[in-house]
Structure 1
Amino acid sequence: MAVHPPTPARAEGRAGAGIRLPWWALTLPVLAFAALLVLISDPAQAREAGAEPAIGVFLEYLTLLLLR
Protein backbone atom coordinates (compact mmCIF):
# COMPACT_ATOMS: atom_id res chain seq x y z
CA MET A 1 0.00 0.00 0.00
CA ALA A 2 1.54 3.30 -1.09
CA VAL A 3 1.38 6.36 1.12
CA HIS A 4 0.84 9.64 -0.73
CA PRO A 5 2.09 12.88 0.80
CA PRO A 6 -0.58 15.49 1.48
CA THR A 7 -1.03 17.98 -1.32
CA PRO A 8 -0.28 21.60 -0.46
CA ALA A 9 -3.08 24.15 -0.56
CA ARG A 10 -3.50 25.84 -3.90
CA ALA A 11 -1.82 29.20 -4.27
CA GLU A 12 -4.85 30.65 -6.09
CA GLY A 13 -7.01 30.15 -3.03
CA ARG A 14 -4.69 32.16 -0.79
CA ALA A 15 -3.82 34.94 -3.27
CA GLY A 16 -6.77 37.10 -2.21
CA ALA A 17 -6.11 36.81 1.51
CA GLY A 18 -4.06 39.70 2.85
CA ILE A 19 -2.38 40.38 6.13
CA ARG A 20 -4.48 42.55 8.40
CA LEU A 21 -2.67 45.10 10.53
CA PRO A 22 -3.98 46.47 13.80
CA TRP A 23 -5.38 50.01 13.69
CA TRP A 24 -2.40 51.49 15.52
CA ALA A 25 0.12 50.15 12.99
CA LEU A 26 -0.79 53.03 10.68
CA THR A 27 -2.14 55.54 13.21
CA LEU A 28 0.97 55.86 15.36
CA PRO A 29 3.38 56.69 12.51
CA VAL A 30 0.87 59.18 11.10
CA LEU A 31 0.51 60.89 14.49
CA ALA A 32 4.29 61.01 14.96
CA PHE A 33 4.74 62.53 11.51
CA ALA A 34 2.03 65.10 12.17
CA ALA A 35 3.58 66.06 15.52
CA LEU A 36 7.00 66.55 13.94
CA LEU A 37 5.48 68.54 11.10
CA VAL A 38 3.78 70.86 13.59
CA LEU A 39 7.04 71.31 15.48
CA ILE A 40 8.96 72.43 12.40
CA SER A 41 6.14 74.34 10.72
CA ASP A 42 6.88 77.68 12.42
CA PRO A 43 10.64 78.35 12.42
CA ALA A 44 10.06 81.98 13.50
CA GLN A 45 9.44 80.77 17.05
CA ALA A 46 12.72 78.90 17.18
CA ARG A 47 15.13 80.15 19.81
CA GLU A 48 18.83 79.82 20.23
CA ALA A 49 19.86 76.95 22.44
CA GLY A 50 21.38 77.67 25.82
CA ALA A 51 25.09 77.87 26.45
CA GLU A 52 25.34 74.11 26.98
CA PRO A 53 23.62 71.89 24.40
CA ALA A 54 21.27 69.26 25.78
CA ILE A 55 23.01 66.41 23.96
CA GLY A 56 26.27 67.26 25.73
CA VAL A 57 24.59 67.17 29.13
CA PHE A 58 22.94 63.87 28.26
CA LEU A 59 26.20 62.28 27.08
CA GLU A 60 27.98 63.48 30.22
CA TYR A 61 25.26 61.98 32.39
CA LEU A 62 25.35 58.73 30.43
CA THR A 63 29.14 58.55 30.82
CA LEU A 64 28.86 59.04 34.57
CA LEU A 65 26.28 56.25 34.80
CA LEU A 66 28.36 53.81 32.76
CA LEU A 67 31.63 54.47 34.59
CA ARG A 68 30.27 53.81 38.10
Structure 2
Amino acid sequence: MSARSHTPPHPATTGGVQTRLPWWALALPALAFVTLFVLILNPTDAQAGTGEPAITQLFQHLQALVGR
Protein backbone atom coordinates (compact mmCIF):
# COMPACT_ATOMS: atom_id res chain seq x y z
CA MET A 1 0.00 0.00 0.00
CA SER A 2 1.53 3.32 -1.02
CA ALA A 3 1.14 6.41 1.16
CA ARG A 4 0.21 9.73 -0.38
CA SER A 5 2.58 12.59 0.36
CA HIS A 6 1.10 15.67 1.96
CA THR A 7 1.96 18.96 0.30
CA PRO A 8 1.40 22.18 2.22
CA PRO A 9 -1.12 24.60 0.72
CA HIS A 10 0.27 27.65 -1.06
CA PRO A 11 -0.26 30.97 0.73
CA ALA A 12 -2.60 33.41 -0.92
CA THR A 13 -0.79 36.10 -2.84
CA THR A 14 -1.86 39.71 -2.51
CA GLY A 15 0.03 40.93 -5.54
CA GLY A 16 2.95 42.51 -3.66
CA VAL A 17 5.21 42.15 -0.68
CA GLN A 18 4.71 44.62 2.13
CA THR A 19 7.57 44.97 4.57
CA ARG A 20 7.50 47.22 7.60
CA LEU A 21 10.80 48.46 9.00
CA PRO A 22 11.22 49.17 12.70
CA TRP A 23 11.74 52.82 13.65
CA TRP A 24 15.41 52.33 14.48
CA ALA A 25 16.19 50.92 11.03
CA LEU A 26 15.82 54.43 9.64
CA ALA A 27 16.71 56.48 12.73
CA LEU A 28 20.17 55.01 13.37
CA PRO A 29 21.59 55.55 9.86
CA ALA A 30 20.10 59.05 9.84
CA LEU A 31 21.71 59.83 13.20
CA ALA A 32 25.07 58.52 11.99
CA PHE A 33 24.84 60.60 8.82
CA VAL A 34 24.01 63.77 10.73
CA THR A 35 26.84 63.18 13.20
CA LEU A 36 29.42 62.67 10.46
CA PHE A 37 28.09 65.63 8.51
CA VAL A 38 28.46 67.90 11.55
CA LEU A 39 32.05 66.72 12.02
CA ILE A 40 32.81 67.47 8.38
CA LEU A 41 31.35 70.97 8.64
CA ASN A 42 33.37 71.84 11.75
CA PRO A 43 36.50 69.64 11.86
CA THR A 44 38.19 71.76 14.56
CA ASP A 45 35.86 70.18 17.14
CA ALA A 46 37.16 66.72 16.29
CA GLN A 47 39.85 65.47 18.68
CA ALA A 48 41.79 63.73 15.92
CA GLY A 49 42.13 66.93 13.92
CA THR A 50 45.59 67.72 15.30
CA GLY A 51 48.83 65.82 15.60
CA GLU A 52 50.28 63.13 13.39
CA PRO A 53 48.22 61.47 10.69
CA ALA A 54 46.46 58.32 11.84
CA ILE A 55 48.22 56.13 9.28
CA THR A 56 51.61 57.13 10.72
CA GLN A 57 50.49 56.21 14.22
CA LEU A 58 49.15 52.89 12.94
CA PHE A 59 52.47 52.01 11.31
CA GLN A 60 54.35 52.96 14.48
CA HIS A 61 52.14 50.66 16.56
CA LEU A 62 52.55 47.83 14.07
CA GLN A 63 56.32 48.30 14.05
CA ALA A 64 56.40 48.23 17.86
CA LEU A 65 54.33 45.02 17.94
CA VAL A 66 56.48 43.28 15.34
CA GLY A 67 59.70 44.42 17.03
CA ARG A 68 58.84 42.72 20.34
Query: Where on the TM-score scale, by shorter chain, does this alignment land: which range?
Result: 0.5 to 0.7
Q: For each residue in 1:5-60, what CA deviation from the matched residue of structure 2 results, as whole angstroms up to 9, or x when unmatched? A: 333112227x36x22322221111111100111111236x48x742x322221233
What are the equivalent positions in structure 2 for 1:1-40 lying under 5 Å apart? 3=4, 5-12=7-14, 15=16, 18-40=18-40
Q: Which has the higher contact order (CA 8 A, sep 6+)?
A: 2
Q: How many residues are aligned here?
A: 62
Structure 1: which 5+ residue stretches go unaligned? none
For residue 31 of structure 1, give the secondary structure of its aligned residue in structure 2: helix
Percent identity over the alignment is 48
Q: CA RMSD in A?
A: 3.3
Structure 2: which 5+ residue stretches go unaligned? none
- Scaled by the length of structure 1, the TM-score of the pair is 0.54
The one-letter amino acid of 1:57's match is Q
- Scaled by the length of structure 2, the TM-score of the pair is 0.54
